[in-house]
Amino acid sequence: MRHRRFAAVLAAVVLAVAALGGVAYGAGLPPFAHKTPATTDSSARAHRPVAGLPRPSPTPSAAEKAPAEPTATPRATRPTPTPKPSRTPTATPTPTATEKPSPKPTTKPKPEALMSVGARTDQVRELEARLHQLDWLSTEWVDGYFGTSTRQAVYGYQGKHGLEPLGYVDSATWRSLREVSRTPTHDELYPPKPKPHSAPLDPRCTTGRTVCIDKSTRSLRWVVDGNVRLTMDVRFGCPSSPTREGLFHIRAKVRHGYSNMYDSSMPFSMFFSGDEAVHYSSDFAARGYNGCSHGCVNVRNWNALAQLFGEARVGDKVVVYWS
């Protein structure tokens, strides 16, 4: 039994060795050779065809496999035409709409004047007489002539009765005045003329340059070396603020005077005692002796006072007295 197994194994070994030898022989090695050929020889033999074996066909490269595509004949390229510069269309100007001028605010026309400065008529005389009835005008100015004093009286009346202050008489003013006054009598239309100031001058007024103010006659006289050059009506301070009496001198002249204390204009101011001065008064021109001052000497004749202001000098005497 053991001999059979041994023989089988031996036979297998012999067959294996024979097989290996055949392979080696086919590879060009002598049977059972133990010498390893040089690397260069094996490399050359690897590329040497073995006798009896078919030579392998060379593998075509990918470039050889692909069929050659016909090369396209280049066509002549047409020159690209240079684009012409495009013309920007000019915008047609839009006609500007003519702006309509904004309407100017319409000023209400002034009422028509029935009587105004410069008029000399019987109707003006009636106007002045009616104003005198209401203590707006002195009888001295009831003469039929529409002058500065009459204008001031009309202006004051209009302001007092809620009328438009025009300074002249329109139909509304005339209608209002006739409603609150009566028809003047002949004596009211032709009052006696005031007597000239016949009171004697104070002795202090007879020499030099003096503004001589008489409280008794309510008058101011401009006297130079005893000669009376100007005379005008004046008004004095109220009982609570009487005008001082005595001898003074002009210490300052202010053409456009103004009272901050009483918020009142004082044109042609000539100061002679503290804050007391001779100056023009629009209230005196409008209301006459119905009012009074805070101590100053009020004058209502603008033109006469303007002349006095131009002639009088700082340092000239001022005398206030009772005759």
Of 301, 300, 291, whose CA–CA distance to 241 is shortest? 291
Of 286, 320, 318, whose CA–CA distance to 302 is shortest? 286
Edge-to-edge strands, sheet with 227-235: 246-249, 317-321, 209-214, 219-224, 227-235, 297-299, 276-280, 264-273, 252-259
- What is d(CA 281, CA 265) in angstroms, rounded to the nearest whole number? 8
Torsions phi, psi for 264 (to 5 deg): -145, 140
Give the pairing type, strands 209-214 and 317-321: parallel
Q: Does residue 279 have an active-site annotation?
A: yes
Q: Does residue 212 have an active-site annotation?
A: no
Q: Which residues pair with 267 in a beta bridge?
A: 256
Amino acid found at 156:
G
Torsions phi, psi for 293 (to 5 deg): -105, 180
- 147-182 burial: b if 16+ Cβ within 10 Å, else e: bebbbbbbbbbbeeeebeebebbbeebbebbeeebe
Q: Distance of alpha carbon 271 from its chain centroid, rounded?
A: 42
Q: Which of 197, 212, 279, 292 is catalytic?
A: 279
Six token digits for residue 87:
């013309």
Amino acid found at 93:
P
Six token digits for residue 200:
């004697």
50 and 28 in contact (C-beta within 8 Å)?
A: yes
Of 273, 283, 281, 275, whose CA–CA distance to 320 is shortest? 273
Q: Which residues carry out catalysis?
A: 279, 296
